[in-house]
Chain A
Amino acid sequence: MYGNDFSAEDAPGGGLLGEVEAAEAALRAAAERGRRGGPAPDEDLAAYFAAVVDADQKIEPRDWMPEAYRKTLIRQIAQHAHSEIIGMQPEGNWISRAPSLKRKAILLAKVQDEAGHGLYLYAAAETLGVSREELVDLLLSGRQKYSSIFNYPTLTWADVGAIGWLVDGAAIVNQVPLCRCSYGPYARAMIRVCKEESFHQRQGYEILHTLAHGTPAQKAMAQDAVDRWWYPSLAMFGPPDTDSTHSAQSMAWKIKRFSNDELRQRFVDMCVQQAEVLGLTIPDPDLRWNDERQSYDFTQPDYAELMRVISGDGPCNRQRMAHRRAAHSEGAWVREAAAAYAAKRAQQQKEKVAA
C-alpha cells in the first residue's frame, strides 16, 4: 500500500480509492475532534495556526494564516488547476478518432472531468483571495506553469491508454496524499478529484490491456506508447529531493505529506506488477527488485529534459499555449452574451418591480 501515515489495510475498497475514502473519513474524524473555533482574543495568531495544523485540523478560508502559506497554496493549487485545463488537450486530440462510439463517449466524459477538476481547483484557490481572472491570466500569460507532462504529443490511440494508466496513475499517487492537506478547501477538492481520477486510470489501463492482447501490431503500438510515456511520467513527481526547493516548508505546513522521491518510488513499485498483467515491458533494463529496500531499483528520468520542458522547450509547449489562448478568446462572445442577457433580465426585473 502507498501511505505510511495511516493504515490502508482496513480501508474500505482498498487500493488508492480506499485511501481516498480513508482520507475523507479522517477529515470527518478531525472535524468531530475539533472543538476549536478561532483564536482567543489574546492568543498569538501564529501559535494558534500551528496548533490547528499540528492537531491535524483543517485551516479554513477565513482563518488567519501566514502570508507564505497562503502564497504557497495559491501557487500550488493554481498550477494544479492549470494542469487540469491544459491536460484536456492531449486527449481531446483523440476524441474524434477514438476507435468506437463507446470509446469516444468515454473519452469525452473523461475530458469533461478534467475541465471539472480544473474548476474545483480554481474555486479552491479563489478562497485564498485571488480572483478567477487573475488565475486565468497567470496561465495565459505564461507566468504560471502547468505540469510538464502535457507538453508531450499523443501520437497514437495507444497514447490515450498510456496517459490514463501512467500519467493519471502518477497524478493519483501524487494527489492522494493531498486529500489530507491542511487547507480545507484544497483537501475537499482533492477528495472529489481523486475519486473521479480512478475511473481515468482504469479506462487507460483497459485500453492498453485490450491492445496488448490484440494483434501483434496493436501490441507493438501499446508497447511504443509505454516506451515514450514512462520516463516523462516518472518526471511528473518533480526534481529529486536533493534539488526540491519547496518541500521542507510544505511538509511542515502539512500541505505536502511525502517527498518527490518517496512518491516516485511508490509509483514505480505499483506499476511493475500492473505492467506484467498487461504483458508489456517497462523500458528500463535496470529495473529490478531490491530485497533490502523492499522496493524496485530503477533508472531516474532525465531531469535536464524535465527542466527544459518546464522552461518552455518541450515538443508541444507553444502549441498547448496557443490553443489555450485561442480557446479563451474564441469563447469571449459566449461570456459577453451571457453577461448581456443577465444584465437585460436584471433590468427588466427592476422595471417590473418599479411599475
Chain B
Amino acid sequence: MSKEQAPLWEVFVRARRGLSHTHVGSLHAPDAELALRNARDLYTRRQEGVSIWVVPAAAITASSPDEKDAFFDPAADKVYRHPTFYEVPDGVAHL
C-alpha cells in the first residue's frame, strides 16, 4: 500500500458558457490528468459544467482571515472606485 497520500487538488467548474469558473470542492489524485478525470466523475455527473480546472491545493497562496483588516483596508478608503460615489446632475442620460 502506498504510504503517501495522493496530493489534494482544488476543483473549479465553469457551469455554462459566459460564466467564470467557480470553486466546487476538492479531491485527491496522484497527477493532474487523473485529477481532471476524477473531477469529471465527482463534480459533473449531472452536466454541471462545460469546463473544469484542477489546481494543486499546495500551489494556492491564500490571505489569512485574521489579516482581514490590514489586508483589505486599502479598499475601504477608496469609495471613489464605485460609480455611486459620483453625483450625476439631473437630466444627464446614458451615464
Contacts and interface: CB of A to CB of B under 8 A. Distances in A.
Is chain B a partner of chain A in the same complex? yes
Contacts of A345: 31
B42 A336 contact: no
Given A112-B45, A116-B42, A332-B2, A62 B65 contact: yes
Interface string B59-76: 000101111110010000
A1 to B, nearest CB: 26
A109 B6 CA distance: 26
Interface string B15-45: 0000000000111111100100000011001
B95 interface: no
A335 B6 contact: yes
Interface residues of A, number: 34
Interface string A19-30: 000000000000
Contacts of A113: 45
A113 B41 CA distance: 10
B1 interface: yes
A interface majority secondary structure: helix
Nearest to B7: A342
Contacts of A38: 64-69
Nearest to B64: A62
B27 A119 contact: yes
Given A119-B42, A332-B1, A339 B30 contact: yes
Nearest to A345: B31
B84 interface: no
A37 interface: yes
6 contacts: A62-B64, A63-B65, A64-B66, A109-B45, A329-B1, A342-B30
Interface of A: 37-41, 60, 62-64, 109, 112-113, 116, 119-120, 123, 126, 131-133, 188-189, 192, 196, 329, 332, 335-336, 338-339, 341-342, 345-346
